Structure 1
């Protein structure tokens, strides 16, 4: 009898041990999967973001939002803008002027719910009311706006920080941002295509002008450069990319400065042969605009470029941070104007349409052409033409 009871006890213990083992195995099988705060079950990957945080994110998420200047632009470059569930406030604003090609190509952005204010001033409460819930939040310029770690803690949604970069001094950061976003979204191949497009375009511009002797270069200056809004003629960019990419002789060149406010006396002393004007200045519509200053300031009227009529309008590209496609378009315009023989095979209109078609129009040439038309004519003065001064 005792022997039978002992056998029963051993059997029960054996069954309990076996059940415990099976439960453990079943629990371990979810190691490659996560159930995120949105209720989605998905494979996850670990990402090291731009500020060194390791962030666990769903692989190829269906739903995301983009916080901060230029963030949605990069998602559009990767042709994944259809996965957003909301936008920041700048995308829904009604404005007479808009020089953001990515937004012009995607007017549907205006119809999305708003999750916070522009420049990264997110609203966690609004984010938590979104339906469907975003699985990932991408964030540029994280030093301003809502703190990314706090945003992640309050929403329970992984936040991936990106350094936006630029096309001159911080191109590696720009490319890393595209690669990181591409890895999260399952768009690695497209990210490499975009990077290759930029590298190939810049190399083409460089090669066309590399052998021009210093004494044969025309001096030039760009005024009215936008910086968080429109500015007057003295606002310039000492490392203006369209000049750098075409070996142009920028009279205000300084490799250590991105934007600067130079003195009237400096401009008069430089006396550039050709003047370019960033058309964002037209928004001012008063005496502070570069166009008004060139027309009415007697000292500027003595400039050689003004006297000879060599003043031209260019596309603004500092609009919710840099629109890289417009940088390239301006560079081809500058190159064609300064060195026509080096760019005689370039049709500027077709080249600009090609740029916008690839970057923001999903390969749709008709849409790329519409973006081009909007960009050229968004201001009272058409871009890439002589200005009446």
Structure 2
């Protein structure tokens, strides 16, 4: 076994427990990744030795907390290759980040009869905010469909992108199909029509390097809890000139420069978007998660997960009655595999696997329009991480077969 992998596993004690008297096999990383000890230790250390509110006090603890909080902003900017830390806004989640863009920036640039272009594979968090914006502004919401191989139909994207398109919103990696979309090409084409590009990077941020300057995206959002960090902390990257144009959508303490009885003046970006006491401990955890990922190196993470998928996908394809959604080739597939077993409800499959200690997700995965396009109500989803092993893949395939045989025997 890879010595590096052995050391990594020691950082995740949760993976050594038993579920239903079986060793835990955690394959729901697309929903929430596990958090390693170094991240947990950093958060505990903060609460034990530096806990204070940020930006408000002049005493030592407050200064230390503020320094740590703002240092993570610098760290995030470096992690996604943003030009500077002022383009990084802390939020609670990817969902809040996308809602902020739709509510603030969307209201500025979208008007009646304009068009918003999204894809049919979007998570509800990158669909409903645009749906609601279109309704508010009497604009048109258009969907890019899937190609025959269930990747994004770029030809359809080109057809539907027009001079009326003001915003293009797209996931970098689908949370169902596992496909990675060609963000750089999409951005280039969108900018030719003077449209702005908003990227949901929730699924990609922990699995591949992101360079927002190279991609040239206008906004990009992700969450800490999908990249080894805590829940309740998210990030919005925005080009500085666009953040400067935007109005805050929450008001209160900390985001103001001055207040009189009749009016208020906001701080500059990013602080004008961070009203009230933020999730300071979550920010510290996010920084620790980035440090952990950086030490592992994203190239190692990508290679490890690619090896797992290369091993797993051909075995799943061989299971009679199993349908995989998304590309059938490893080259076009990320670390997410959605599937169904013939004549079995996904919830039954997931429950059967849970009895064997295997944790997967079953449902519509907050992507109901995509489910309708695929002709199903829900799927089973296994999502991998670098702390899974080839032995885990063997066990998963075996247990899927066991569940299939059990239900078929029962019927």
The structure whose Rg is larger is 1
For the criterion TM > 0.5, the same-fold answer is no
Higher relative contact order (CA 8 A, sep 6+): 2
Q: Report the TM-score when normalising by structure 2.
A: 0.27
TM-score by length of 1: 0.28
